[in-house]
Structure 1
């Protein structure tokens, strides 16, 4: 007996999936028109990169580029078009967007797939709060294109035409966990792990002895905060601690937090946005720290993209955002899992279909 769903190519299965897949196309076309009407240029980032990205918990797919002499050079499938897009900003582009195919290893759940579509867009010379307005507009555009009066997943509904709630991480931790988050973050960005662990345990959060400050942050966020987000209307969760925003610049007036926000709807994280860091020295320091942590946890590290760091010095001030397009389609169509809105889901290894 099989323990997985029948293959997507069975005619009866495809017939059930086809309405959501057609809605996917309508949503994509509507969003593309929205960007083009605002003088954005659609770009296509190369998938093959010398680095898949340098965040601790992102896992790339490794491959090799064979040159004409037969020598092999390590390359990766990108986890995001971000590095390439920022090089285009350095080259002089001002407003760009990309429906990028991206690849992430170790990720397969109802909301994750090893190959998926990331919609990224960038605004040179514009504040990251402009991206908050973009998010509100795009939710309404997507819902209108799919004919959805509301977004829904696992019994949680959102009005896509309502103005999103804006909530800081500090307020979210106080409201939903009873924890003063920024009391454990110094003005130089250093974090106080013992104090944070004590506050978490007092709030009833279970921790492992080797959990670092970031591990505790992620655990509280996923267990106590995220279930309350994006109910009735979307939530923009903003002002992340600087240690949790590897590619974002500090927020003026409070160096403890960064110009970063995430968009939630129906309890689902849809997008991640930054006021972009353009200091190559600081960016290198953060990348190296993240790779040290990756080495500690997973026993591996990825190379730095030196070409990206060089381009960063020429990049103008900008804001940028990555939105999980497949997740948005899920919410617009009421799909149960991400595979239901992918035309050809990646088969799971070693498993026989029914």
Structure 2
């Protein structure tokens, strides 16, 4: 790819077909959302907390009041907290195309500012979101005029029904790891047991890796490259320790109602059966922020309004999809930046 800036006319001429496809894809999804009774909402980007997951890095700023006093604020990493407040307020089906910001993230599949499509269904099971995902894959392909999705050496048929596999099954099949043997019913994990299994599988690790670090290493090295090849993959029933905002599966407390959607080995979406217990959510956030402080030396505040809203929020399912990644795959673009109208400089 040329090193000249994206705003040079010759570069823009090369990029424009994919950008126009982006507009068509967004329009098609918006029409689908409207036809299916979703209200499109527009959450504020400024938030008292950027999110409370251990490895998410927010952009900090200040909000100065009329009295001249400054208050710490953040650009959100997801519109999730605001949208769940709208569920608590009584909205039954909502969706948003939101610009979100994540620090320390830039590459072919990452950008510090990107577009997230997030939608929620009150009173509906999280498996319904899997059908939504299948529809959006087809809509994106149709709008882009694509017969297939392509990323590097991987090809995926967006018109085929996605396969559904549990995380435990995928770890067993692709890494030879019995993941559930390292998780107890109360969510406690056996770090040493998982480390021994990674060693046996020949997966490199660091001496002080936590259970979560070990899980991520095995997922990235042995599992993800096999997902979404030929057809999309729904990787379901994530371990409970890896699902801070999802409720536990009723048939096995070691796993949660969380899935991720993959196409061409690329993670596209992250869906949940939403946790609505404010006490449990607070405890999970506090645990993750303690981990964050240990690893990075800082922590983010909790959104107390969000925790209060959970007490009246109905049972719901929700999901976030990386819209730029979807467009990238539908247009066979080399990176998410190639399908952004005006990428961040630098």
Q: Provide the TM-score with structure 2 as the length reference.
A: 0.99
Aligned pairs for 1:199-210 within 5 A: 199-210=197-208
Q: Following TM superposition, where does structure 1 have runs of at least 4 consecutive aligned residues deviating by more than 2 angstroms?
A: none
Which residue pairs with 1:132 in the alignment?
A: 130
Counterparts of 2:169 and 2:209 in 1: how far apart (Å)? Answer: 23
Which residue pairs with 1:53 in the alignment?
A: 51
Counterparts of 1:25 and 1:169 in 2: how far apart (Å)? Answer: 34
Q: Does 2:282 correspond to 1:284?
A: yes
CA deviation profile, 1:270-291 (whole Å, cap 9, x unmatched): 0000000000000000000000
How far 1:213 sits from its partner (Å)? Answer: 0.2
Which residue pairs with 1:108 in the alignment?
A: 106
Which residue pairs with 1:70 in the alignment?
A: 68
Which residue pairs with 2:177 in the alignment?
A: 179
Counterparts of 2:317 and 2:33 in 1: how far apart (Å)? Answer: 15
Counterparts of 2:149 and 2:205 in 1: how far apart (Å)? Answer: 34
Identify which of 241, 244, 247 aligns with 1:243: 241
Counterparts of 2:57 and 2:2 in 1: how far apart (Å)? Answer: 25
CA deviation profile, 1:121-156 (whole Å, cap 9, x unmatched): 000000000000110111001111111111111021
Q: Does 2:107 correspond to 1:145?
A: no
How far 1:101 sits from its partner (Å)? Answer: 0.4
Aligned pairs for 1:3-42 within 5 A: 5-42=3-40
Structure 2: stretches of 5+ with no match in the other structure: none
Question: SS state of the match for residue 49, structure 2?
Answer: coil
How many residues are paired up? 346
Which residue pairs with 1:352 in the alignment?
A: none
CA deviation profile, 1:199-250 (whole Å, cap 9, x unmatched): 1101101111110000000000000000000000000000011000000000
Aligned pairs for 1:70-89 within 5 A: 70-89=68-87
Counterparts of 1:176 and 1:9 in 2: how far apart (Å)? Answer: 43
Which residue pairs with 1:351 in the alignment?
A: none
Counterparts of 1:112 and 1:231 in 2: how far apart (Å)? Answer: 21
Counterparts of 2:2 and 2:99 in 1: how far apart (Å)? Answer: 25
Question: SS state of the match for residue 231, structure 2?
Answer: coil
How far 1:4 sits from its partner (Å)? Answer: 7.9
Structure 1: stretches of 5+ with no match in the other structure: 349-354
How far 1:78 sits from its partner (Å)? Answer: 0.2
Which residue pairs with 1:326 in the alignment?
A: 324
CA RMSD, 1 decimal: 0.9
Question: SS state of the match for residue 122, structure 1?
Answer: strand
Which residue pairs with 1:305 in the alignment?
A: 303
